[in-house]
Structure 1
């Protein structure tokens, strides 16, 4: 039964994404003269993404600490990564951040078009030139007041355990003097494992926003990274 439901769910997504994308294009056109940071478009995209969580009868989502996130101004958000579903549930934060995502996602029809429309940040993992362009893109976004959302593990965990964090997010925060806000995501790995598209039965996912970390209170970006890793690890435990 779950196999049949999974097929129906993915077909529903494929059929409705073009409709949502048409709405995204309209939002961008209407807001183009006055919304340089594309906040309205991101909030529309957030509603689009989290819609697929709330219409799934097998899933429940709980979000806590959303009020910790700044309503405006730059920040670096860092979250653990266990599943493709992480993206959908993190959209439920409804805050105007910019995603840093692997380049392959930008090539996906409709989804990738919307990511480019939103000015999200592509990255080819392990490619030095791509990393340089990603950092420069994030520098520009932070300097104009847009928060960025990064998965500092670099890729989805395959065993459910939190992996070491890469330095990029924390170098950005230290260089710009903006807070790092850790976000702990749980339950999504059970909803959709890293390998496979069969949905699991009755999943309760949660997103917990943790207190911000001020780079000025740490001796180095490495110490900032370690503090963020510890905060998320403790929340997951």
Structure 2
């Protein structure tokens, strides 16, 4: 590493995050317009989610340090309920997964919903808040996901529950797979690589040039596994094998 690389990355990081902070209100104004125009006929808020996807991916493509490649996107449904699960190593996983451009609903920690502009847009989209460690919040999250799946919207969940500190795959929690079994909908494992090197778990200083890859694996049918633990373990194994 050249001696000036670290200071330059810090300067670039400040400029990049400031750019996001300044442009987010502009994009949010557009989101409000899309929401108002489509509200009478777009009950699942598909148009708003796709607008939000373009908003997020814009920040990926304008960053010269990041290159994003997505494979298997065609496997994801445009219509009908499904459960999407992805490994989680970095804050920017959220940005790159928007690049799937499919009308799913996020399950995200409650703190993000409190962030000005970003959190407001998440509420407009009817994404799902979750307070980690709260049994009452987990129950509300599951009920919210039940309603979304019943209405035909896929949901996307990080089954590890939190970001990995070192990039290693953590144990999967049952919630996503309980939803899939009860609603008889497929599980789509999604593998994200490269984001942990792009941005560490602690801190906002961007790292070296990285290739970020998002891979959608073939869906798993809950009927083929019989119960939640078997489906959970098979999904985790599929992600682990690809990693």
TM, length-normalised to structure 1 = 0.99
Shift of 1:134: 0.2
Q: State the distance in 2 between where 1:146 and 1:220 align.
A: 23
Q: 2:169 aligns with which of 158, 162, 174?
A: 162
1:186 aligned residue (190, 193, 202): 193
For 1:18, the equivalent position in structure 2 comes to 25
Does residue 95 of structure 2 align to residue 88 of structure 1? yes
- Asked if 1:41 is matched to 2:26, the reply is no
Shift of 1:148: 0.1
Q: Which residues of structure 1 form unaligned runs of 5+?
A: none
Cα offset, 1:201, TM superposition: 1.6
Partner of 1:176: 183
1:73 aligned residue: 80
Any unmatched runs of 5+ in structure 2? 1-7
**Which residue does 2:108 correspond to in 1?**
101
Query: Residue 219 of structure 1: CA displacement?
Result: 2.2
Q: Matched residue of 1:185: which SS? A: strand
SS at match of 2:119: helix
TM-score normalized by the length of structure 2: 0.97
Partner of 1:120: 127
After superposing the two structures, state which structure 1 stretch, 35-44 or 196-205, moved more.
196-205
* C-alpha distance in structure 1 between counterparts of 2:128 and 2:78, whole Å: 21
Q: Say whether 1:137 aligns with 2:144.
A: yes
Match of 2:117 in 1: 110
Q: CA deviation at 1:195?
A: 0.5
Residue equivalent to 1:52: 59
Structure 1 residue 103: deviation in Å? 0.2
Superposed displacement of residue 74, structure 1: 0.3
Q: Could you tell me which residue of structure 1 aligns to residue 3 of structure 2?
A: none
1:146 and 2:156 equivalent? no
Out of 8, 15, 19, which is 2:15 matched to? 8
Structure 1: distance between partners of 2:14 and 2:184: 46
Q: SS at 2:100's partner residue?
A: coil
Give the length in aligned residue pairs.
Answer: 236
Equivalence for 1:199: 206
Q: Deviations over 1:32-66 (max 9, x none)?
A: 11000000000000000111000001100000000
Please state if 1:210 is matched with 2:217.
Answer: yes
Report the aligned-residue RMSD: 0.4
1: CA distance, partners of 2:41 / 2:78: 18
Poorly superposed stretches of 4+, deviation over 3 Å: none
Cα distance in 2 for partners of 1:201, 1:215 equals 40
